Structure 1
Amino acid sequence: MSTAALLGIAAGGIALLLLLIIRWQVHAFVAMMLVSLLVALAAGMPIGDVISTMIAGMGGTLGSVAILVALGAMLGRMIEVSGGASSLANRFTQILGPSRVPAALTAAALVLSIPVFFDVGFIILVPIIYGFCKAAKVDPVKFGLPVAGIMLAVHVVVPPHPGIVGGAAVLKADVGWITLLGLAICLPLAPLSQYLSRWLNRKHYTMLPTTAEQFKNFAGESTAGSALRAPGVGAVLTLILVPLALIMVGTTGATMLPKGDPLRNVLGFIGAPMFALMVAIGLAFWLIARQQRWTRERTNEVMESALPPAATVILVTGAGGVFAKVLTTTGIGTALSQTLTAAHMPLILAGFAIALALRAAQGSATVAILATCGLLAEAVTAGGYTAMQTALLAVAIGFGGLGLSHVNDSGFWIVTRYLGLSVADGLRSWTVLTTVLGLAGFALTWLLWVAVA
């Protein structure tokens, strides 16, 4: 089949995917599976190979994604239920001082958002934001906007969050490198989120009546239900930083030591993200469950409560792997790779632009990242890139999934409703913030790309 025909099928598949999700409100998992099937048939894949190819795509992706997402969700849930988020935010505020409460909350949010999904993490911090805002006699948007911005930035580029983990599996990128690079780039984005939010907040936003009533009646209740025994900030930081340190050790060993070196194999084992998260879960039993005096039944209940929301995320991510496998097997990926090469468009720019367009069109950052990785997987494989370059490509695609959050994004409604913003004010503030952060993150990623090229 000609290159033009294959690219036309890919474009039609993406258009159908967007229609299914946006217009007809079909669940993303079902939509991606259906489009994968139709694209495979339209591209001329032998009918006997279609189902086996889809199964291979699902299995190949979920082999790594399911474990990381499930373990990350359990760890985040234990921190959430125990009241660790409140401890972290309060301690950062004590360190930086009352006059720097917005900066303290933003710093705490950056750390907390590593193991906790964006929507859950933001909802956890809402009572803390409300409490500090009432004390400072300001509207929630003043402190909440920068917090939400940095949390979403971490969500799209730092494992174990599903979009970037699934994208890494599709591109065969090293999760350790992605973790290091994603965090390194998000660090300067935190003050940018703070300063840009302050600039956006020069305008007064009239709070929605329902939010105003909720904010007025807020009395500072603890969401954890066990504020007297909330884990200390040291315990929370240990649970977050220990797995990151292990991953860094593994990545450093793989970079510095030659293949076949026994020490490299040992460091690679302890630095594997799955092992690192398992260590964190083990520490959580000691630092949270034991300290909170949870029974074994209570601990299991908390951990199991994290799995139903994670299951949907895992399935959508697996469906993205199916779509990627179909694109690769049918030759669509090769056709796109050849077209990009002929157009002399930098692959890193193409990845960011495609992800940004898909994000704006259908709302889900995870779907945008996975679909883009599937489209470009063949080009990445054929490019002969180093482990660090492949990780930078994945991070660039992740930042494409950050920008242009608007009314078709569930995160848009979570942020605007809790902060009391109307749709118009949300577009003027939240949409602008996410887009600038996405562009800034991509700019920093490109600078690193140029430096290592």
Structure 2
Amino acid sequence: MPILLPAAVDDALVLAERPPWALLVIAVAAIAALLLLIIKLRLHAFFALIIISVLTALAAGIGVADVMIVVIAGFSTTVGTVALLVGFGAVLGRLVEISGGAQVLADAMLRRFGEKRAPLALAVASLFYAFPIFLDAGFIVMLPIIYTVARRLGGSFMLYVLPSIGAFLMMHALTPPHPGPTAAATVMGADVGMVVLVALLVGLPTWYLAGYRLSLVIARRYPNMPVPTLLGEADVDADIPRPGFWTIIFVLLLPLALIFYNTLFTTLEASGTVSDDNVLFQVSRLIGNTSVALLIAALFAMYLLYLRPRRGRGSVGGALEDLVDNALAPVCSIILITGAGGAFGRVLTETGIGTIIADGLDALGLPVILAGFLVAVAFRVAQGSATVAATTAGSIMAPAVVELGLSGVGLAAIVVAICAGSITFSHVNDSGFWLIGKFCGFDTLTTLKTWSVVGTAIGFMAFGLAWVLYIIVA
């Protein structure tokens, strides 16, 4: 999840003195209490997360007057990042489904791969779609296609959705232009193009074994999981012609093209090829923003998939408004839960628990690539955000990298190892944990046994391959 937290809530924020061991005990107790409230006592996750966030902040020594400042800062920052992506993505996905476009794509994929390879087809499609677009936004747009294939072929929904989750996790964790890998590469002085090459070299076998094959093994443990109805049933109007294959492809690839456009001109501006006041560069910063790109794609989808096929059939504006309302309504709860997860992660960040763990690891004198991986894991476990974990670990390890004089493939391998650590051990303080779990209809325990396990397996395998590559070139 691309959640960028401000460096500080308030310059005047002062923590009461707590020894490091006490902070670690508080963090472990908070997570255990949260799981107890949600899994055993069945308290709604939104309420449980906010309650535990407040109690953890007080126990960790954050002043009474500052507790809600920290909680609201974490909540608002997360919601500000997620709400637009989820909202526009949900509408775009619903339009693709309600128009019959998801069925068109499902038919095309099944003709090409065959019904027995449907999970592989969905995973490969997710792999390509995840390259330039954030995990949450891309996954939400892909969901209607996954729903359609699962309903058509039958069997457990887990068999179709978990391989796609693995593809999105790998691409989001390891490859620029996703924010964590890009930020880590930047702060460590690595060449972003080289990081992309190393990430794909490491990531593709990681995806196939830890993202795809492992997902199939886990899916067999859930043979009767139904397709969620969170976004509503497909309810395709049989009297309206289905959109063409290339129309659907255009709508789905449009946000990717806009994001790539922004990435291209950002790279050209950073290298000095174009100036900061270049008109095309300025335009790219607007329309290439992920939220704006999804907005533009959703508007095109409204016309191409809904309004144009119904032209001459009377007023359809009201029906379109109802469709958008129906698409947005179910995601409101998910956005609140995701924001509450961000609030809990922010409280843990402000206590400095991640820094305490990182300092201890740094003092052990481990090999730089192993130390970077473990520091990223520590920050991931402590505060939840993969982006923050990768960026912070990269900043901590940058001086050691400079001291060793690393560059090229060796430096890129260290960046990828750090990013691998940032995707491991997702749990209740990760807003993505709640967002993906709720959209898939998973309860908390199921999310831990699926999303968290696949992400951790991807992280450890990617780290192992990156370390092998580092040894070869070092």
Normalising to structure 2: TM-score of the pair?
Answer: 0.64
- By how many angstroms is 1:92 displaced? 2.0
Report the residue type matching 1:151 in the other structure. S
CA distance in 1, matches of 2:89, 2:387: 22
- The structure 2 residue matched to 1:274, chosen from 291, 303, 323, is 291
**Structure-1 residue corresponding to 2:148:** 124
**Structure-1 residue corresponding to 2:237:** 226
- In 2 relative to 1, CA 436–38 (structure 1 residues): closer, same or farther, beyond 3 Å? closer
**Structure-1 residue corresponding to 2:99:** 82
CA distance in 1, matches of 2:392, 2:425: 19
CA distance in 1, matches of 2:140, 2:109: 18
- In 2 relative to 1, CA 441–293 (structure 1 residues): closer, same or farther, beyond 3 Å? farther
- In 2 relative to 1, CA 26–354 (structure 1 residues): closer, same or farther, beyond 3 Å? farther
CA distance in 2, matches of 1:267, 1:53: 34
CA distance in 2, matches of 1:448, 1:87: 39
Deviations along 1:155-212, one digit per CA (max 9) or x if unpaired, are: 55677xxxxxxx979x9889xx9xx89x9688667765666688899x9x9977x99x
**Structure-2 residue corresponding to 1:370:** 384
- In 2 relative to 1, CA 347–21 (structure 1 residues): closer, same or farther, beyond 3 Å? farther
Deviations along 1:42-61, one digit per CA (max 9) or x if unpaired, are: 12212111122222222222
Higher mean C-alpha deviation, range 232-241 or range 331-340: 331-340
Residue 346 (1) aligns with residue 371 (2): yes
Cα RMSD (Å): 5.0
Q: 3-state SS of the aligned residue for 1:262?
A: coil
- In 2 relative to 1, CA 302–438 (structure 1 residues): closer, same or farther, beyond 3 Å? farther
Residue 38 (1) aligns with residue 37 (2): no
- By how many angstroms is 1:273 displaced? 0.8
Residue 151 (1) aligns with residue 176 (2): no
Q: 3-state SS of the aligned residue for 2:363?
A: helix
Report if aligned partners of 2:379, 2:393 keep a CA contact under 8 Å in 1: no
- By how many angstroms is 1:438 displaced? 5.1
For this pair of structures, how many residues does the alignment match? Answer: 392
**Structure-2 residue corresponding to 1:242:** 254
- The structure 1 residue matched to 2:349, chosen from 311, 328, 343, is 328
**Structure-1 residue corresponding to 2:67:** 50
Report if aligned partners of 1:320, 1:374 keep a CA contact under 8 Å in 2: no
- By how many angstroms is 1:41 displaced? 0.9
Give the 5 Å matches for 1:47-446. Answer: 47-96=64-113, 103-104=120-121, 106-107=123-124, 114-116=138-140, 122-130=146-154, 140=155, 146-154=159-167, 156=169, 192=209, 223-227=234-238, 229-258=241-270, 261-263=276-278, 264-293=281-310, 295-343=316-364, 344=366, 346-349=371-374, 370=384, 382=396, 396-398=421-423, 400-401=425-426, 435=453, 439-440=457-458, 442-444=460-462
Report if aligned partners of 2:166, 2:215 keep a CA contact under 8 Å in 1: no
Report the residue type matching 2:149 in the other structure. L
CA distance in 1, matches of 2:268, 2:118: 41
Report if aligned partners of 1:333, 1:375 keep a CA contact under 8 Å in 2: no
CA distance in 2, matches of 1:69, 1:349: 31
- By how many angstroms is 1:28 displaced? 1.7
- In 2 relative to 1, CA 340–226 (structure 1 residues): closer, same or farther, beyond 3 Å? farther
**Structure-1 residue corresponding to 2:406:** none
Report the residue type matching 2:236 in the other structure. G
Gaps in structure 2 of 5+ consecutive residues: 1-16, 131-137, 173-177, 186-191, 228-232, 402-411, 428-435
- By how many angstroms is 1:414 displaced? 6.2
Deviations along 1:233-253, one digit per CA (max 9) or x if unpaired, are: 222222222212222232333
Deviations along 1:377-396, one digit per CA (max 9) or x if unpaired, are: 8656655599x988985665
- By how many angstroms is 1:10 displaced? 1.5
CA distance in 2, matches of 1:128, 1:71: 26
Identify, as 1 or 2, the structure richer in helix.
Answer: 1
Report if aligned partners of 1:189, 1:437 keep a CA contact under 8 Å in 2: no
Q: 3-state SS of the aligned residue for 1:306?
A: helix
Report if aligned partners of 1:84, 1:236 keep a CA contact under 8 Å in 2: yes
- By how many angstroms is 1:23 displaced? 1.9
- In 2 relative to 1, CA 309–354 (structure 1 residues): closer, same or farther, beyond 3 Å? farther
Q: 3-state SS of the aligned residue for 1:254?
A: helix
- By how many angstroms is 1:230 displaced? 2.3
Report if aligned partners of 2:34, 2:49 keep a CA contact under 8 Å in 1: yes
- In 2 relative to 1, CA 99–43 (structure 1 residues): closer, same or farther, beyond 3 Å? closer
CA distance in 1, matches of 2:464, 2:285: 28
Identity of aligned residues (%): 30
